[in-house]
Structure 1
Amino acid sequence: MKTAYLLVFDGLSDWEPGLAVAEINKSNEYQVKTVGFKREVAVTMGGISIVPDCTLNEINYTDAAILILPGGEMWESDPVMDLVPVVRKFIGLKIPVAAICGPTVFLARHGLVENKSHTSNGSKYLKNLIGEYPGSELYLNQPSVSSNGLITANGIASVEFARDILGELNIYNTETLESWYNFFKTPWLDD
């Protein structure tokens, strides 16, 4: 069974990866494990307490399927240096990395979007926080972008983010994935 690693930390935006991890965890091929900077309780922005299953140093790359980086205020002010070699290793091993909202700042800050199409909370959001960055010309003004194993999304695109993750992991066939997406994005009307 392959593992989807979800980074957990104090103040993470718990709603952003919610749909993706729920669907991943329901599959028969993947399990979700939480990974923290340390093995201490992380309290999400919504007040949920999570004890990480492992630390960054304990990631098993041989069974890793994806690394999911949810948003939170930490990303805007902290360069998150402990995470740089981990993300570089995922990318080097061609294991997908998915970032929604704030961690797109982390990726751009550390040159990890240099050759990949990507998105964020707006190109001005990135430039205001970090200035010009390698790959800024590949920015796309879209809710979510999947490009060569890197998935990026803006903070209000959790459904698109989940769709791109589920597509990357081939959890559903194309038709089922489209139906899944439409279920969450199309307003339900009583007829």
Structure 2
Amino acid sequence: MFTIYVYTLDTMADWEIGYVTAELNSGRFFKKDAPDVSVKTVGISKEPIKTMGGLNIIPDCVIDNIVMNDKSVLLLPGGNTWDDPKHGAIIKKATELLSVGATVCAICGATVALARAGLLDQRPHTSNGAGFLEMFCPNYKGTDCFVDKLSVVGDNLITASASGALLWAKQIIEHLGVFRPDTLEEWYAYFNTGETQHFFALMQTLPKANK
């Protein structure tokens, strides 16, 4: 079973995690033999945080509760408070997770936090455009590994720009192997284009449609 840990912080960009958490939590488009998935929110404490959209979230668990194995997946959303030193604890945990083969997924401002810790220096990654990480992270040494795309998979690290939430979700879902390939392609095409033909094609890929 995969456990998805969604890090919660004040001002978190709640829309950036919407696509991926909705699909992993609901399982509505999972293939027949998909592994079980559990989605949990995690915080520095169990005190509520307020997202950028004004939603109050009480974390399900704290950082020390994160299980250290390759079935753990850490999602780091963007937010305006990543400069706060208290978030160093989750970046330390991200470092440990990467070392045991777990998956770490960061988007927007969270990529700056990873860059400051040196976690992007030798791994393929992206962020909010070329030059963004250099602007906010003087010690960043990963220029040669930067890929100017909306979302990038670098082994067990998946990073995305602020505008790459949909592709980021697609790559995370693909990495976990919970959708059939044709389901994933039609899902992405539908939400990327809005064309109804992809919605009907998506429905035809689901287990019930193929009985």
TM-score bin (small chain): over 0.9
The Cα shift of 1:58 comes to 1.4
Aligned counterpart in structure 2 of residue 152 of structure 1, from 156, 159, 184: 159
- In the superposition, the TM-score normalised over structure 1's length comes to 0.93
Q: Contact between 1:5 and 1:64, CA under 8 Å: does it hold in 2? A: no
State the alpha-carbon separation in 1 of the partners of residues 100 and 117 from structure 2. 18
State the alpha-carbon separation in 2 of the partners of residues 105 and 66 from structure 1. 19
Q: Contact between 2:158 and 2:168, CA under 8 Å: does it hold in 1? A: yes
The Cα shift of 1:136 comes to 1.8
Task: Return the structure number with greater helix share.
Answer: 2
Structure 2 counterpart of 1:29: 36
Structure 2 counterpart of 1:175: 182
The Cα shift of 1:129 comes to 0.7
The Cα shift of 1:175 comes to 1.5
Superposed CA offset, 1:16-63 (max 9, x none): 011101111123610100000111001100011111000101112248
Secondary structure at 1:83's aligned position in 2?
Answer: helix
Secondary structure at 1:3's aligned position in 2?
Answer: strand
State the alpha-carbon separation in 2 of the partners of residues 130 and 23 from structure 1. 33
State the alpha-carbon separation in 2 of the partners of residues 178 and 158 from structure 1. 16
Structure 2 counterpart of 1:17: 17
Structure 2 counterpart of 1:50: 57
Structure 2 counterpart of 1:78: 84
The Cα shift of 1:132 comes to 4.8
- In the superposition, the TM-score normalised over structure 2's length comes to 0.84
Secondary structure at 2:15's aligned position in 1?
Answer: coil
Q: Contact between 1:11 and 1:74, CA under 8 Å: does it hold in 2? A: yes
The Cα shift of 1:84 comes to 2.6
State the alpha-carbon separation in 1 of the partners of residues 124 and 153 from structure 2. 8
The Cα shift of 1:64 comes to 4.2
Q: Contact between 1:118 and 1:139, CA under 8 Å: does it hold in 2? A: yes
Q: Contact between 2:69 and 2:100, CA under 8 Å: does it hold in 1? A: no
The Cα shift of 1:146 comes to 0.6
State the alpha-carbon separation in 2 of the partners of residues 64 and 55 from structure 1. 18
Number of residue equivalences: 189
Structure 1 counterpart of 2:203: none
Aligned counterpart in structure 2 of residue 163 of structure 1, from 151, 154, 170: 170
The Cα shift of 1:188 comes to 2.9
